[in-house]
Amino acid sequence: MSLTHASPRPFQLQVPQADLDELQQRLARTRWPDEPPGEAPWSSGTDMTWLRSLVAHWQHGFDWRAQEARLNAWPQFKCPVGGIDLHYLHAPGEGPRPMPLLLLHGWPGSVFEFMDLLPRLTQPSRFGGAAADAFTVVAPSLPGYGLSFTPGQRRIGIDGMADLMATLMSDVLGYPRFGAQGGDWGASVAARLGWAHAPLLHGIHLNLMPIPREPAHVTGDSDEERRYLAELRRWLAEETGYSLQQSTRPQTLAYAMTDSPVGLAAWISEKFRAWSDCGGDVDSVFSHDALLADISLYWFTGAIGASFWPYYARRRDGWPVPEGATVDVPTGYAEFPAEIVRPPRSLAARTFTQIQRWQVMPRGGHFAAMEQPQALAEEIRAFFRPLRA
């Protein structure tokens, strides 16, 4: 599918100083709630003591300009595609034949997730790898997220995102074939590309397996499936309140998240704790600066409401690969132990018919690019290595 597009233009991020000043004013005027007496920290939501420490750092220690500089160190562009002004990093790889790789984030992430992963993919020789395994990486802000959002732009679901990504890689950037890698919604976009745009793909690599999450899809015929069914039921019962709200009334939630930076921080940071391999101690995996870079990007762009849209669209449109259809391009999967759900290979193989690598990782969770960038980079390189010919 080819969508109307124009020529890319170079981009550098510079948030106006007035926006930084306004954020500080809002943080200083925070109206804090109480907490239910006698409840353990984090048991009913984001812990106030921890959140106060994060907000204090946001006010007095966090350097947004340093985070901007970190992002601006990579070549960035914007390009109108299909009526959306897409933002993307386009980082050339070392060596004579770097493979083009589309690198896709999800929610509540952003391109800031990839700051430690990018050099390991573009310049593997700096990190103990071989230059022959290098990638030229295209890392877009998903449509409706961060720097790919402007107020009033049309909302699109995963199928539309995949079409835009295909146009960006093939028509705008001129890559006849490329690889795709993603977690969270990025994994769904990669899967949709593998189904709807298979001739463009060398293969797809995933660190979240995007198959339907309804118990009716699990037969329970093996120990693996029974383990997954118990895990899935616990997830649906205890961890999906955010998804239900975002998929049914995203606009209602957007008012609070767009108006309150502390509310936004509470909503996002709770997921970084719950979904990572941190053992309940979010600070053991993510620095305040890393969390606030991501949260601040949502704040300054005002994109949080639009970022909910894929949840709303999926509720209406279903999973990105239609029921009964299959993804027949080479597929790799890295199963991180603290991922939100971990379906067994027997279920994944019903949809992904060409699983060529399935690696169980020793550590890490949902935010693998941030938690375990070296391990994820090695897995991506290993999967795509035989597909480069």
Residues noted as catalytic: 184, 311, 366
Helix H segments across the chain? 17-28, 48-60, 64-72, 118-122, 158-167, 185-196, 223-238, 241-248, 250-259, 261-274, 288-301, 304-307, 309-317, 345-351, 368-371, 373-384
SS3 state at 107: coil
CB-CB neighbours of 259 under 10 Å: 10
> Is the CB of residue 164 less than 8 Å from the CB of residue 3?
yes
What CA–CA distance (Å, rounded) separates 294 from 292?
5
389 exposed, middle or buried (CB, 10 Å; 0-12, 13-18, 19+)?
A: exposed
Coil, helix or strand for 246?
Answer: helix
Distance CA 148, CA 158 (A): 15
- Give me 269's structure tokens: 């940071």
